[in-house]
Amino acid sequence: MSSSAEELVAEIVDDLAHLKGVRVIAAMSGGVDSSVMAVLLKEAGIDVVGVFLNVWEYSRDDVNRNGSCCSLEDSYDARRVADAIGIPFYSMDMREEFRRDVIDPFISDYETGRTPNPCERCNRFVKFGALLKVADQLEAKYVATGHYVQRADAADGIHIYKGNDAKKDQSYFLATTNRAQSERILFPVGGLEKDDTRKLARHFKLPTAEKHESQDICFIPAGDRIAFLKREGASAGFRAGNIVDLEGNYLGRHEGIAHYTLGQRKGLGLPDGPWHVVGLDGATARVVVAHPEDALISAVDVVELSWIRQPKAGEKVTAKVRYQMQPAACVLQSDGEILHMVFEDKQKPTAPGQVAAFYVGDELLGGGIVSRVA
């Protein structure tokens, strides 16, 4: 039998009781998860300050047709929730930081043949980078988010675990958050199932209780990545070139590497398939493809490493190099600033620019950015 809303609230409030009176920034996106997060903090007697990050300018047509994250309408929703639960609310202009740390690298990656992960960069540089500076300005000890991730405090420091709802777990996107940042982040809804989050939103009669979720990249609410890249001037990603196999044999032509991502198998239109994209070369404008059995990967190199907790000797480490994959057993070997990771069994392909997240069981150890695939 599922818990009632009252039982869920009592359990979470009890877990947060030690923070009564402490000032916490509630990162409010205007969605249901962050709305419930904010009201749970308030119920626990925490000194909550709601903050919305204005990161991008959206067209009203795109928002109306496709929904969004962090649009002006979302700002209104966040403010309505803040007003409803009685907490102060601020809208922070983070457009400059977002352009520098998320948009510009996103465009550059598609021009050079990498496949970026903008949600990871937003978390690392904006939500848990710039926003923690805002927390310092507002004399707040913590920042809280609506991520489905769990935190546990122990004698040896904090530990971060997967969210309780396996379908909503977002630990992968927090793998590059460093220990100092993680120590200041709270995840009040991380132990909930998504249905329970909705239940609590209705229980508190929040304005966002029935709001649907956007599945697109927040700055491309229409989901048209190609139109966005062309509009932003990513011309190098749209040079025509050849499609070749692993031996360099010509298979066809393409209209730009930005149309492809590593691991892609649909929409290639090549004979004698199926094929997977296994290489994108911005310098030569080549797209390299292979048959599925030849597209599997054995190892990746990882850079820009961040550790919440270093793996201990003898621990069995697993890794995800794609959001949708199950963590797979691997062996890690450090070489200066590069971490070599070898899988015990071959895996479906990933791409440079994607996140590699490391786990021991359900605990997130940290992660980095894939720089090479083999």
What distance lies between CA 183 and its chain's CA centroid? 18
Q: How many residues does the chain have?
A: 374
Report how far residue 73's alpha carbon sits from residue 30's, in angstroms, rounded to the nearest whole number.
8
* pLDDT (0 to 100) of residue 96: 93
* pLDDT (0 to 100) of residue 247: 94
User: What is the dihedral angle through the alpha carbons of 48, 54, 60, 62, rounded to the nearest 10 degrees?
Assistant: -100
Q: Is 84 helix (H, G, I), strand (E, B) or coil?
A: helix
Report how far residue 239's alpha carbon sits from residue 249's, in angstroms, rounded to the nearest whole number.
20
Report how far residue 226's alpha carbon sits from residue 35's, in angstroms, rounded to the nearest whole number.
32
Partners of 279 in beta bridges? 288
* pLDDT (0 to 100) of residue 218: 82
Q: Spell out the domain ranges in the chain.
A: 5-146+188-203, 239-294, 295-373
* pLDDT (0 to 100) of residue 65: 44
For 239-294, the fitting CATH number among 3.90.1150.10, 3.30.1440.10, 1.10.3720.10, 2.30.30.280 is: 2.30.30.280
- The class level of CATH for 5-146+188-203 reads alpha beta
* pLDDT (0 to 100) of residue 183: 95
> What tokens appear for 221 in the block?
């609410």
* pLDDT (0 to 100) of residue 248: 94
* pLDDT (0 to 100) of residue 1: 54
Report how far residue 339's alpha carbon sits from residue 286's, in angstroms, rounded to the nearest whole number.
27
Q: Taking a C-beta distance cutoff of 8 angstroms, is the pair 194, 146 a contact?
A: no
Question: Maximum Cα–Cα distance for the chain, whole Å?
Answer: 67
CATH code for 295-373? 2.40.30.10
Residue with the two structure tokens 């909503």: 168
Residue with the two structure tokens 């009632």: 4
Q: What parts of the chain have a pLDDT lower than 70?
A: 1, 58-71, 215
State pTM to two decimals: 0.91
* pLDDT (0 to 100) of residue 81: 97
Report how far residue 350's alpha carbon sits from residue 8's, in angstroms, rounded to the nearest whole number.
38
What distance lies between CA 350 and its chain's CA centroid? 16
* pLDDT (0 to 100) of residue 238: 96
What are the tens digits of pLDDT across the range 120-179?
Answer: 999 899 988 888 999 999 999 999 999 999 999 999 999 999 999 999 999 999 999 999
Q: How far is CA 80 from CA 34, 76, 83, 194, 209, in A?
A: 13, 6, 5, 22, 12
Nearest Cα residue to 162 out of 371, 364, 368, 374: 364
Q: Is 273 helix (H, G, I), strand (E, B) or coil?
A: coil
Report how far residue 43's alpha carbon sits from residue 31's, in angstroms, rounded to the nearest whole number.
19
**Which residues are catalytic, by number?**
122, 218
* pLDDT (0 to 100) of residue 140: 97
Q: What are phi and psi of 319, to 5 degrees?
A: -145, 150
Cα dihedral sign for 43, 46, 49, 53?
negative
